[in-house]
Amino acid sequence: MKTNNKGKKLIIVGFASIVILFLLYGRYQNPEVFTPSALESIQRIALGFYITIIISFGGIAFGMYKYHKSKVENKGKDILTIIAITTYNSKSRKIFITIFITYGIFFSLVSGTLVYQPEVNFVTHYGATIPSGFIAPCCDGPGYMPKIIIYLTEHVGLQIIPINLTLQIIVSYLVALNASIAINAYAISKKGRGMSSVGAATGLFIACPTCAGTFLSIFIGTASGIGLSVVLTQLQTLFIALSIPILIITPYIMAKKLQNSDGSCKINFKD
C-alpha cells in the first residue's frame, strides 16, 4: 500500500510540476524582457526548463511503474488492477513498447517535431551550421516556448516545442496502453467479428487521434486551399487534446470485458 501511495504522489507531483513550469516560463515571453544583458540569464532559465521537464517525466514514469507493479502484486478486484494485470505480462509489454515508439515517431512527423524540407537549404536560408542546435527562448504563448532547434542535415532537423513534446509522450502512452489491452480483450470477445466499417473507422480515430487530425487537414486542405493551414494546425492540436479523455476512458470500458463477475481477471497470466 505504501508503494501504491508513493507511486501516485510521484505522478501527481510530476504533472503538477509540468503545469507550473509552463505557467512560470510564460512570464518571460515579453520581448521587452529580452535585453542583451538579460539574454544569457534567460538562456540558462530555458535550459533549466528542459532539465526540469525531463526530471518531471522521469518521476511520472517511475511513479506509474511503482503504482502499476503494486496493483499487480496486491491482486485486487477493481478495474485498475485488471488493467495492470492485463498489461504486465511480457507479450503486452512488447506490444506496448513497440506501439509507443512507433506512434511517437509518427506523431513527431505529423506535429512538425521532425522537420523535412527538401525545398529549403538550412545553410543557405538560415545560415545554419550542420550539425548544430540551439534553444530559442522567446516569444510565444505558454507551452510553446522555449523551443529547441536542431539542424541534422541541410534539409532535416528537429523543432522541439514543449506542448507538442508533452502531448506526444502522453498520447503515445495512452495509445500504446489501449492497444495492449484491446488485443487481450479482442482475443476473448466474440463481438469483435461483427465490427462494422463505421466502427472500425471510429476505432482508428480513437486509437490514433493524430491520424484523424491529419485526415481532416488533408481533406479540408484539398477542398479549401492552403489558406486554412494555420487553422487546421490548431484544429489538429485541439482534436488530439480532446482525444485524451477518450483514451483514458476506453481502457476502463475494455477492462470490463476482462473482468469476471467476482471482480477477478478472466486472463490468468503466468508471466
pLDDT at 219 over 50: no
Are 204 and 103 a contacting pair, CB within 8 Å?
no
Are 135 and 146 a contacting pair, CB within 8 Å?
yes
For residues 40-55, give the mean pLDDT: 88
For residues 82-86, give the mean pLDDT: 84
Q: Which three cell numbers stand for residue 111?
A: 506535429
pLDDT bin (cut points 50, 70, 90) of residue 168 is confident
pLDDT at res. 238 = 66
pLDDT at res. 196 = 37
Q: Is the dihedral of CA 128, 132, 135, 140 positive or negative?
A: positive
pLDDT at res. 109 = 80
pTM (two decimals): 0.78
Cα–Cα dist 66/11, whole Å: 10
pLDDT at res. 217 = 44
Nearest Cα to Cα of residue 153 among 133, 169, 130: 130
pLDDT at 59 over 90: yes
Residues 6+ apart with CB under 8 A from 237: 163, 167, 213
For residues 215-244, give the mean pLDDT: 51
Residues 6+ apart with CB under 8 A from 210: 103, 106, 107, 110, 111, 171, 236, 240
